[in-house]
Every structure is written in structure tokens, then in C-alpha cells.
Amino acid sequence: MSQDTAPRIDPGPPLTDGDDALSPDTWGFRDTQFVVLPNGNAMLTGKRYALSGTELPALVPWVRSVLANPFIERPASAGHFPAPVPEPKPPTAFLRAAEAFLARGHVSIEPLDRLRRGHGHTLDEMYEIKHHGLPRVPDAVVFPGSTDDVVKLVQLAVEHDVVLVPYGGGTNVSEALRCPRDEPRAIVAVDMGRMNRIRWIDKANRLACIEAGAVGRHITDQLAVHGVTMGHEPDSYEFSTMGGWVATNASGMKKNRYGNIEDLVVDLEAVMPGGVIRRGATTPRESVGPDPRRWLFGSEGTLGIVTSATVKIFPLPERTEHDALLFPSFEAGVAFLNDLARSGAVPASVRLVDNLQFQLSQTLRGPAVGLQAFKRKAERWFVTKVRGLDPTSMVACTLLYEGTHEEVARQMRTVARLSRARGAMRAGSENGKKGYQLTFGIAYVRDFVLRYGILAESFETSVEWSRALELCARVKARVRREAEARGVKGPPFVTCRVTQVYQTGVCIYFYLGLNDDDLADPLGTYGAVEHAARDEILQCGGALSHHHGVGKRRQGFLPEVHAPVALEWLRGLKKSVDPQNVFGIGNL
């Protein structure tokens, strides 16, 4: 049978490693966390990452210096998990009816089940679950196994006046899962984890149908068995899900080659109070009026539950190459990215970090001995003395090439030509690979430093090329002013990187860290500084969010983003498709 007429492939049972693999109170895997060893060196435990198991002698001294923090572990900062969990108000009739068709054990009112489905991964939420607790969490959790199950659950919610909250990987940093404390109705979390199959793969038409609860790393691994990839790799892809990507309008590290989630999804199946959105055929493009399926992108659980998506897939790349470049300044690096965006030869991923983040990356290296120590010393001499790069201003750019041999070769030639023109030197494929993989390991730093009295979080935006440098400088300056005005001890840690490039502009991703010493209201202070940074972003013409979404954390800024008529349209849409406010999580 020719490929053109080959049937759809059933890839078999979904991949899974169980909830026990994940940490209940910190980011990521249970077996992975940063610790300080008796000799004072830091180390990432476990064996999952290239960084794991390597002693890091420079990290703790560097943090002490940059943040003026003694870095002495403070049990009070770490808190105790779990903090008290509110008693449930279970909707008895709803749950009894749900138990009639859900498999045994797939309805729960257990405190830890409810707690985990009631928060994402913002600093505030992770702090609260270890200290004073969340004021409201779901009253119950249900685990549907099919679209029919979801349809019945929605019908029951309408009948019994219950609020439903879709739950995927719980990785959001927008407080989208935070339950409204004044909601009088029972709240039930709908955990999509059992709906985690790749239903089919169609290699002839380069499509796959993937259920909403499928996790990114499992999707990638299972598609690869059949020689294809979706190419969608958010920083959170190890834990985030297909449905969550749609609900937050997600972006991925390899966006330049494969597109953002809205480019990859060609069809959706979703359950709303009025019924199921689904189509009988998947076509490359159509013009049939406004598309209700597009309402779900960025809807953050307010309109319905995504149950599956049909997405584009691509052959696994013939060639994959990593690389890294050093530039004399952030300005030179941004100019290079602008040149690259206009060249039409952009690698799958290209990321530029500022000097402070480059310094941090250098602390995440193990000690060098013998020949390796000599090599590092020689490299440092060559970079600073021969090439004349200043360690206090130089920046790094990591690149990932994927595609055919011809595509990769053309992109590499273009990068070499354009980077030379901006004063760059090549740092090699090994450094490029480490820099790319560091994205996953560095995510564990936030929960690590929290134990030492440092509040930290990330936020992001997108902005036109002509305002990118101004935005970065102004946001950093605003953070410093706001932190000083609020009595924060020591300088704030504020750094940024450019993570995605477009013809018209860039995505800029910030990290912010503050000492909590002597702060009467640590979370309130941090929130005020972050809020000021977001205000500065909007004043500079930046987006409210590039891919994190709005949730409740950035909701107050919506009147500055949307015209009154647009906000009224959004409210009208919500009232039309969900008149009873079944999906009353409060994100719209």
C-alpha cells in the first residue's frame, strides 16, 4: 500500500509514569531538586538532566554576591507542606451520579487530590501551599476517561448547579486554577489525565489526533517511534498538556520551524454546556465564517473543556545541530537576531541571554581539573584577551538547527555571516547543547532559593523590534526603583532573554528575584514590584503576555489592552455559550 493511501496508525497505549514521579510541592520531578552539599557546593539531584549530579562550586557564592543574601537556609521560608486544606463541600448528588459511569476510584474528595488541582506554579501559590494554605480549593476531583464522560459531567454540572474547572498539567503561572473564594457553589476539578492517548497518526496527510490530557514529553516520545514530531516544545513540555497548550495559547522553543500552538492545531474537539464542538473532516484551510473552535485558544477554562486536538506533524529532522555564539553586548545580540529574522533562514530555536543571565549560566558548571581546567583557562584568555570581549557586558546566544541537511547548512552559513558582522565569536556545539538543555534544569532554581529567603518568578512579553532594547532597560530600571522604594534589602535580581523571534518583533522573558528580609508582607511586596514591571511593559508597547496567558494574576490589566467594546464582546461570548457559568473559574 502506498503512503498516499496508508491507513491511520493506532500508536497503542499512552506513555505514562504516574503521579508519584512528580513533586507535590515544588516544580518538576520528585527526585530532582537543588541542594547545598556539606562542602558548600550546590547540586541538582537525580539523573534526569545533563546538569544532574554535578557539584556546582560557583552558584552559591555568586547568588550571595549578586543579591547580597547570606544564603543561609531558613526553615520558615521553606514552610511545611501541606498547609491546611479547606474542608470540602462535596456536591453529593452530582458525585453520586458521576460514580455511576466513571470507573471505580475516579471520583475523589481526598485533601491532597483537591489541593493539587486548585493551584498552578506561581510564586504566590507555591508559597501558600507550604505556609498558610489556599483559601479555596476544589471540593472534589473527577477523572473522565472519554469525551462521552466529559459530556455527561457537563450535563450533570448544569443539572446540579456545579462549577467545573478543567485541569491538565497544573503548570500555569497566571493563577488560572485559583478557585474564587466567594463562589457559593461546589467546585469540581475535571482532571484530564486519563484522556492521554494519541488516538491516531496519519503520516500520509501529516496529522495526528491527540487527547487533551497527553503530556508533552510523552507526545514527543510516542510520535518519534513512528518517525514524526509535532515540534511543540514549551519550557514546561515535560509536564504541560495538549489541552493546556490550547487553553493558554502556548508557544514553544522551536516555534521558528514548527509554529506556535495556533499554527499547529487544525481541528479541536471540545465540550461546552450546549454540546460538543467537533467536525467531520479536517481540511487544510476553509472560509466558513467565524470559527468557534478558535474561541478556545487562550480561554483558560472559561468556555468549556478541550478533549482532543488534531495537529500537524512533521518527519523527524534529517539533521539536528546545536551551536552557541558570544556577542560583545546585548545590543549587538539583538541586532543579530533582527538581521536573522529578516534573512529567511532562522534556526528552529534561537535564544539570547543578557549578561547577568550569562553569568548565572557560568555558575552552573562543574569544577574543572587537570586538562579541563587548563582548557577553560585558555578559552577565557582567548575570549577576553584575544577577542576582547568584556565579561561584564558579553552575552550568549544558543541555537538549535533542525531540518534537512540542505536547510541546516544554509541556516548555518547565514548565521555565521550575520553573526560575524555583529562582532560575535562561535562558542561551539557543546556549549549550545548545554545552553538549550539548561532551560529544563534552571526551572528548579526558583523553589531552591525560596528556602533561603529569595522570592523569585518569571514573566514574559512580546514587543516590536524597534522598542525591544528600550523595554528591557526600562523594565529593569523600574524594578530597581520599586524594590528600593519598598525597602527590599540588597539589589533585586532582574534579568532577561530573548526566546522567540518574529518578522515584526521578539518575545522577551524576564526573571525577577528579591530578598524577603524584614519584609512585613513578602508576597505583597513581590507582587507590587512585578505589577509595576508589567505596567512598564505596557507603557513600552509590550504585550500583556506572549504565552503565559492572563488568568487572574494579570486580569486587572485587560482594560488597558482591550477596547471597551472588545471586553463587552468577550463577556457576551461567555454569557452566550455558558449562560449558567458552569465554567466559573473567573478567568474572564
What is the per-residue pLDDT across 219-255, written as a single tens digit (0 to 9) for each? Answer: 999 999 999 999 999 999 999 999 999 999 999 999 9
List the catalytic residue out of 401, 509, 511, 526: 509
Residue where one domain finishes, among candidates 442, 466, 482: 442
Say if residue 19's pLDDT is above 70.
Answer: no
Beta bridge partners of 29: 22
**Mean pLDDT, residues 491-497 taken together:** 97
515 and 453, same domain (yes or no): yes
Helix or strand (DSSP H, E) at 389: none
Q: What CATH number did the domain enclosing 420 receive?
A: 3.30.70.3450
What is the per-residue pLDDT across 266-325, written as a single tens digit (0 to 9) for each? Answer: 999 999 999 999 987 889 998 989 999 999 999 999 999 999 999 999 999 999 999 999
Res. 56 pLDDT band, cuts 50 70 90? very high
SS3 for 301?
Answer: coil
407 and 454, same domain (yes or no): no
Contact (CB, 8 A) for 190 and 113: no
What is the per-residue pLDDT across 179-217, written as a single tens digit (0 to 9) for each? Answer: 999 999 999 999 999 999 999 999 999 999 999 999 999
337 and 425, same domain (yes or no): yes
Task: Pick the closest to residue 135 from 199, 87, 176, 202 (CA basis).
Answer: 87
Say if residue 4's pLDDT is above 70.
Answer: no
DSSP class of 529: H
Task: Pick the closest to residue 383 from 352, 337, 339, 423 (CA basis).
Answer: 423
Task: Pick the closest to residue 89 from 138, 131, 150 (CA basis).
Answer: 138
Question: Would residue 366 count as lying in a domain?
Answer: yes
351 and 416, same domain (yes or no): yes
**What is the number of domains present in the chain?**
2
Give the pLDDT score at 384: 81
Question: Would residue 120 count as lying in a domain?
Answer: no
Cα separation, 417 vs 413, in Å, equals 6
Give the pLDDT score at 534: 98
501 and 485, same domain (yes or no): yes
> Known catalytic residue: 509?
yes
Q: In what order do the strands lie in the sheet with 454-464?
A: 425-426, 319-327, 395-403, 349-353, 493-501, 505-515, 454-464
Question: Would residue 92 count as lying in a domain?
Answer: no
Question: Would residue 68 count as lying in a domain?
Answer: no
511 and 458, same domain (yes or no): yes
Residue with cell string 490550547? 246
420 and 481, same domain (yes or no): no
The torsion defined by the Cα of 124, 125, 130 and 132, in degrees rounded to 10, comes to 80
394 and 469, same domain (yes or no): no
Percent of residues, the chain, with pLDDT higher than 90: 90
Res. 1 pLDDT band, cuts 50 70 90? very low
| Averaged pLDDT of the chain | 95
Q: What CATH number did the domain enclosing 470 receive?
A: 3.30.300.330
Residue where one domain finishes, among candidates 442, 465, 488: 442
Check: pTM over 0.85? Answer yes or no.
yes
What is the per-residue pLDDT across 362-417, written as a single tens digit (0 to 9) for each? Answer: 999 988 777 676 667 767 877 887 788 899 999 999 999 999 999 999 999 999 99
Sign (positive or negative) of CA dihedral 459, 461, 467, 469: positive
386 and 336, same domain (yes or no): yes
What is the per-residue pLDDT across 90-113, written as a single tens digit (0 to 9) for each? Answer: 999 999 999 999 988 999 999 999
What is the per-residue pLDDT across 443-458, written as a single tens digit (0 to 9) for each? Answer: 999 999 999 999 999 9
Question: Would residue 393 count as lying in a domain?
Answer: yes
Question: Would residue 464 count as lying in a domain?
Answer: yes
427 and 450, same domain (yes or no): no
Q: For residue 377, what are the domain limits?
A: 319-442
Question: Would residue 346 count as lying in a domain?
Answer: yes
Say if residue 5's pLDDT is above 70.
Answer: no
Give the pLDDT score at 391: 92
Question: Would residue 169 count as lying in a domain?
Answer: no
**Mean pLDDT, residues 27-35 taken together:** 97
386 and 339, same domain (yes or no): yes
423 and 462, same domain (yes or no): no
SS3 for 564?
Answer: helix
Sign (positive or negative) of CA dihedral 54, 442, 444, 453: positive
